[in-house]
Structure 1
Amino acid sequence: MTDQLTSMQAALGLPMTPIPFTDEGALPSAFAVTELACASIAAAGQAAAELLHQQTGRRPSLEVDRRLASFWFSTSLRPLGWSVPPMWDPVAGDYATADGWIRLHTNAPHHRLAAEKVLGVCRDRDDMASKVALWNKAELEQAVVNAGGCAAEMRPWQAWQGHPQGKAVNAEPLVHIDASLDARPGPWLGTVARPLAGLKVLDLTRVLAGPIASRFLAGLGADVLRIDPPSWNEPGVVPEVTVGKRCTRLDLHRADDRAVFETLLKDADILLHGYRADALERLGYGAAQRQQLAPGLIDVSLNAYGWSGPWQNRRGFDSLVQMSSGIAEAGMGWKQADKPTPLPVQALDHATGYLMAASAIVLLSRRLANGPGGSARLSLARTAKLLIEHGAGAQTALRPENSADQGLLVEQTPWGPAHRLQVPLRITGTPLQWAAPATELGAHRPQW
């Protein structure tokens, strides 16, 4: 049991029940990343256990394997005879400016174009570095953001504490949960083995926190339908996060696709979305419209930098929040390095994803008990605050992977066979398992 877990339990309204973390070791980091992994997975598991207790009168026991949780915060997939494409665009990464460091996030083609609109076309990393070196970090960050791109200068934690956005997000709760006025009474359709069976989850999220959330919900039996725009792809992530889901494409700027989306939303129990705070509103699907289309909806959303303050609508990703909030700078000092040192895994994404899943299950329990749906809001920056404030963790190294982790059934993916590591969460009587292998984006029809 860790302080991080008690903070999560308090934020979610879960009982302050100790949950054992088995095995030993931790990811090497300036911060307690393995504890964050275990705590967030435990919180999602506890939400499921409380749902089962509510519906059956039996509260199952649960535990989290520290070593496996650490590995799952990197990747659970082990391809057999093939490789997952690189996660990063060739010019994405950290660059020295005239007065410090900046990170450019260029994975999406339009984000790379935005950076090149400011800096000029870049042939490779060396070309990018020579252009970035001429800029002041704050001016380049703002210029890229103004161009519709994604960038973050490296700040120390103390500077983030004094920054208007740091002050805003630090005043927000870890999870902001609201009840809705609209009820959707109905029976629990699940079982002990598949507690979320019969639930329809509409997933509008992309890399990486939201897909982690919907992967967890699918592992407990939910029917997850992921929607992407026609041209979107994230090949370095899709094999990891689409297991157990169906994936389709819709263009919400087209009238016919909007009609299909609205039909899907009306039948959805849970909506997950990770757009910028104002994006769905600009498409005509603000919070009021969503509840009107789907009364009693469980509406769970995340963004990068929080839900108040001047950056609430800013584009962002895990690696950028690490730069903004002081994590990369603290890692640099911890490692005595001469460049930004991020966390060893995308821990803010993964942890926030499990907290999103936990929020959805908590809201489901409330709806089954009382009728009304509800909403939850989370952010990567607020999860960063939780990690930073709980300081360093144990530095005992994890045991390396071995053949025991590979004694699994083969998952036949569209890219080739693969193994998945054993699941780190154990809920008595409720195995986390997926009914279908990972799939390509857009592989299914837009229907329940």
Structure 2
Amino acid sequence: MGRGKNRRGRSKPGQGKCSPKPDTVPGTRTEIPEPNHLLTMGDTSAQKRFQRKGSKQANGSSMISSVPTLEEKLAEKQEREKIVLWRRPIQTLNYFSRECGILSAEYMIKLWNNKKSVLLIAMLIGGYYAAYKTPGPHHPLLQSVAKECWWCAWWLWLGILSSVGLGTGLHTFLLYLGPHIASVTLAAYSCNSVEFPSPPYPDDIMCPEEEVAAKEMSIFTIMSKVRLEAFMWGAGTALGELPPYFMARGARLSGYDPDDEEMAEFEELQRLKERPEDMSFIDRVKLSVEKLVERVGFFGILACASIPNPLFDLAGITCGHFLVPFWTFFGATLIGKAIIKMHIQKMFVIIAFNESLLARAVGLLAFVPVIGSKLEQPFKSFLEKQKKKFHRKPGTSPESQDGVNIIAWIFEKFILLMVAYFIISIINSFAQSYHKRKHKMERENKLAKD
């Protein structure tokens, strides 16, 4: 097979061309069946590993392949799924700490290998910090720059968390950006202005002290007020789509078949292409996304990124597998997520929290059987207190006027639960990653010994 057969077919000194070395040796297997769970698209990485193994075989001996069988993969996966905090807390925490140590060491090595760039960045940050702490006419400008940078970095980080997720994702649009846009919308209609005094904006929203002439508040005025944070959040979600792309691209270029679950969905979809009758509706939708990205290219990626699309991870894997250029993929993703989709989401939230529409929606709660009146009153109270909070005097604490609101209390606890679940999912993901790494190292050590 491949290079192994070619080497065995070569003539040695002292042998004529008519007497080639036999291709078979008694007691050895000459044909290595390809596992049926691997893809057969071109020259796959599994085939390359078999070729390398065949070229290293000695006469009368066979090396044990590092590729696990389907039964071994299933058993390993079942064992890995049990490594979670609520089943095996001690083992999970142990594996999590080990994986953190390994990743920390790997990143420290990468930083050391790029020590010149790290030193340059450290010098720039140190110079900026020294200038920031030095009094002078430049100080207000540096304060403004630092505040703006921290504000942008905060929303960028929230976007990355929402997109990467480490297996679950923290839905930061529902938890942070959506409520922020809703608060700005309510304040804009209540104050009839978006010129909120800063500080306390954006940490807190208050109406400007000057009376504003009566005019109709525009949706586009509110959209421009939240444009920066929405764009940075969208850019963070675009950055979070890069890991699946690089994973699939690296696997295709290196010829190494990753045993990650992230590729299992893509592999299964490729196998289902030959059996369309076995496809479900979801499989057909996934296949249509793949075909759109593969055939249309930039505009196909742009279309997938411009709408709320839970299957976009598959698009990233597809682009990486078919070696779509990085800037084609990232450029289309950035434009789609940070510009087109974010404007759609902003407009939806602003329209939903329009003062008149919101009042009508709260009024409709009264028609809900049994619990309608109980739901209507808390929402009305919440909206009234929000308006009072926007019109309070500077220096007045909102808690002293508002008291404790049941809706705000529930939302706060909901955020805490979501963050806690996200942290638990990170711990479980790291622990399972170490389990995968451990089994892989054991197979490689066994292969080296044999």
What is the TM-score normalised by the length of structure 1?
A: 0.21
Whose Rg is larger? 2
What is the TM-score normalised by the length of structure 2?
A: 0.20
Instruction: Judging by fraction of residues, say which structure has more strand.
Output: 1
Which of structures 1 and 2 has the larger relative contact order (alpha carbons within 8 angstroms, sep 6+)? 1
Instruction: Judging by fraction of residues, say which structure has more helix.
Output: 2
